[in-house]
Chain A
Amino acid sequence: KAGVTQTPRYLIKTRGQQVTLSCSPISGHRSVSWYQQTPGQGLQFLFEYFSETQRNKGNFPGRFSGRQFSNSRSEMNVSTLELGDSALYLCASSLSEDRANGELFFGEGSRLTVL
């Protein structure tokens, strides 16, 4: 069974540009969530989607957005990039709607560097 696939794995952008990251969940998983990981702030929740609907959103500015497609694949977009957006962006999928009981399966992440 294929795991969670994130593309691209590495990318370099300059300030002011925008970026789109893609996440393909495990087959059958309908819940997808996104996290930002940085050395200073650790792991922070960005947003979560279930059946194409955003269920939860973290405390990030509106430059960060996401969506989920009917096949459960998800994308996140960051517009007007800032240096502080440099991070590892992790996507996770789960089978269960119930966050308290569901195990998350993480991809290996997309490492974004903003110059």
Chain B
Amino acid sequence: AQSVTQLDSHVSVSEGTPVLLRCNYSSSYSPSLFWYVQHPNKGLQLLLKYTSAATLVKGINGFEAEFKKSETSFHLTKPSAHMSDAAEYFCVVTPWGGKLIFGQGTELSVKP
């Protein structure tokens, strides 16, 4: 069975400091992994995806994530937080042809 765990329900950073949102997954085979972002009262938007190509994936708005099979992790990072990054972030795993499995979400707050 596949599952995904976001290790922090809430992360707070200061503007200009690095962001780290942690995600661990469980899968019986190599999964596809995604990070989505949801701003208040909006739908979700894809930040980046890993589909067994390069292990370091670059996404939009300066975000990137590294797939580490040995640690079953897919953590999301950004070198310098911006106020507009404040939102909820979802780590998602999916088998081929299957339904998406969402993590519980991490709410990111950015302080001025």
- A residues whose Cβ falls under 8 Å from a Cβ of B: 4, 33, 35, 42-45, 48, 55-56, 58, 90, 92, 98-101, 103-104, 106-109
Contacts and interface: CB of A to CB of B under 8 A. Distances in A.
Contact of A104 (B46, B96, B105): B46
Contacts of B90: 43
A42 B105 contact: yes
Interface in B80-112: 90, 94-105
Given A42-B102, A43-B90, A100 B95 contact: yes
15 contacts: A4-B43, A42-B102, A56-B99, A98-B96, A98-B97, A99-B32, A99-B94, A99-B100, A100-B31, A100-B95, A100-B97, A101-B32, A104-B44, A106-B45, A108-B43
Contacts of A4: 43
6 closest cross-chain pairs (CB), A and B:
A106-B43, A100-B32, A43-B102, A106-B44, A100-B96, A45-B99
Given A4-B43, A43-B90, A43-B105, A101 B99 contact: no
Contacts of A98: 96-97
B99 A108 contact: no
B4 to A, nearest CB: 11
Contacts of B28: none
A42 B91 CA distance: 12
Contacts of B104: 42
